[in-house]
Amino acid sequence: MKSLTTLLLLISTFSHSWAQETEQNKKLGIEFEYFSNWVLTEKPDGYLLGSEKIEGFIIIRVESYKSLKAMKSSMKEGIKKEDGTMLTLASELRPYGENALAGMYEGVVDEKKVRGFLIGKLEPKSKKSVFAIVVAPEERFNQSHMDAVKIIGRTLKFL
């Protein structure tokens, strides 16, 4: 009986951690799904997501690019901020569905070495792009981080 209780508890925990929520933002013109164990905070140009169970964070940001080529060029440049944050492309950018690219990044955030996985998706008609990146300490970055941002990338819709 104890084994059955443990098994049911594990199944319950597993199914809860993979449950998904849908976010729709008409002002930004996007809709996407995310795992319910990540907490969503709206920002003027996107979202910040954090989790109590998974170390790291996700940033979703809406920008404008005229073409996939322009978006790719920006993704190759990486991310550099005045606060010392710097992420550089650590792999080739690869197609991620139609009008989308993905790649691994490495760098520094808050003076800590980090790894990241970024997906950029372009809506050619509106010239709107959405970037979703998950960042975590280098030694803790794992498949669960990538899965969290992949679900956003796969379900992202432009409104």
Per residue in 28-76, pLDDT tens? Answer: 999 999 999 999 999 999 999 999 888 999 999 999 999 999 999 999 9
- Classify residue 128: in a domain, yes or no: yes
- Classify residue 12: in a domain, yes or no: no
CATH of the domain at 120: 3.40.1000.10
- Classify residue 2: in a domain, yes or no: no
Specify the pLDDT at position 148.
95
- Classify residue 64: in a domain, yes or no: yes
Taking only the tens place, the pLDDT of each residue in 106-151 is 999 999 999 999 999 999 888 899 999 999 999 999 999 999 999 9
Per DSSP, the residues of 38-51 read SEEEEETTEEEEE-
Tally the domains of the chain.
Answer: 1
Residue 90 has pLDDT above 60, yes or no: yes
Specify the pLDDT at position 18.
66
Non-local CB neighbours of 132 within 8 Å, separated by 6+ positions? 32, 58, 59, 60, 61, 118, 119, 149, 152, 153, 156
**Pairwise CA distance, residues 96 & 86, whole Å:** 23
The answer to whether 134 and 56 are in contact (CB under 8 A) is: yes
Q: Supply the DSSP symbol for 83.
A: T
- Classify residue 9: in a domain, yes or no: no
Specify the pLDDT at position 88.
97
- Classify residue 138: in a domain, yes or no: yes
Q: Provide the residue range defining the domain that includes 94.
A: 21-158
Specify the pLDDT at position 87.
97
- Classify residue 61: in a domain, yes or no: yes
The residues facing 117 across adjacent strands are 104, 134
Specify the pLDDT at position 146.
95
Residue 11 has pLDDT above 70, yes or no: no
Specify the pLDDT at position 32.
97
Specify the pLDDT at position 19.
87
- Classify residue 1: in a domain, yes or no: no
